[in-house]
Structure 1
Amino acid sequence: MADTDTKRRTKVEPKTERPRLHKVILVNDDYTPREFVVMVLKAVFRTTEEEAYSVMLTAHQKGACVVAVFARDIAESKATEATDLGKSAGYPLLFTTEPEE
């Protein structure tokens, strides 16, 4: 029998990382009416009346509140849409995004 060298080949599979999620944050202001904030939360983020009121109240009491968590592009587009609704109505309503930890 002839000596044969057999080399073991290992297949390297690249690990794919899940995209990092981003939080959409409602920033409190003293000028936008509560009812308008609730309406925006329901329209853009599809929350119920109770959820929207709770988010609005938390932002009012603590200065800011996480509304939802999405992939970065979705979070940014929803934050922009909600902020633009406030601007078009003449309110300083502000939604921001930041990476989730």
Structure 2
Amino acid sequence: MTRPDSSAKTQTLERTQTQKPRLWRVLLLNDDYTPMDFVVDVLVGHFRRSEAEAQVIMLAVHHKGQGVAGIYTRDIAESKVTQVTGEARAAGYPLRLLAEPEGNA
């Protein structure tokens, strides 16, 4: 009778599935004090929008109360909110931005 070789080891291969990170929307909120030109400059400079896209988004903010500046991973969205808020405050404007998970109404 032979004994199994105790030096033989079984290897287990685990396969993990990676998931894409959840995306977050950066929203610009309307206020009565921030000039429309400043909002357009922010959209072009920070969110890489064309002048025409920036005008459309700015008008959505003005007429509907908010507009989507961009969609990013959470870290990037939060960084953009912080950067733009700081720039707006330095310029003396109360512009508000929010980052929220994609898919919220």
TM-score by length of 1: 0.85
**CA RMSD of superposed structures (Å):** 1.4
Aligned mate of 1:53, from 39, 55, 60? 55
The residue type paired with residue 37 of structure 2 is E
3-state SS in 2 of match to 1:57: helix
Paired residues, what number? 93
SS, match of residue 43 in structure 2: helix
CA distance in 2, matches of 1:53, 1:83: 19
Q: Secondary structure, in 3 states, of the residue corresponding to 1:23?
A: strand
Q: Aligned-pair distance for 1:11?
A: 4.2
Listed as ranges, the gaps of 5+ residues in structure 2 are 1-10
SS in 2 for 1:85: helix
1:34 alignment partner in structure 2: 36
Match of 1:79, SS state, is: helix
Per-residue CA distance 1:70-89 (angstroms, 9 max, x = gap):
11101111111111111100
DSSP 3-state at the match of 1:18? coil
Using the alignment, how far apart are the partners of 1:29 and 1:44 within structure 2? 19
The corresponding residue for 1:6 is none
* Deviation for aligned residue 1:10: 7.5
Q: How high is the TM-score relative to the length of structure 2?
A: 0.82
Shift >3 Å, 4+ stretches: 9-12
Post-superposition CA distance 1:54-101 (Å, at most 9, x none): 101001111111111011101111111111111100000111100112
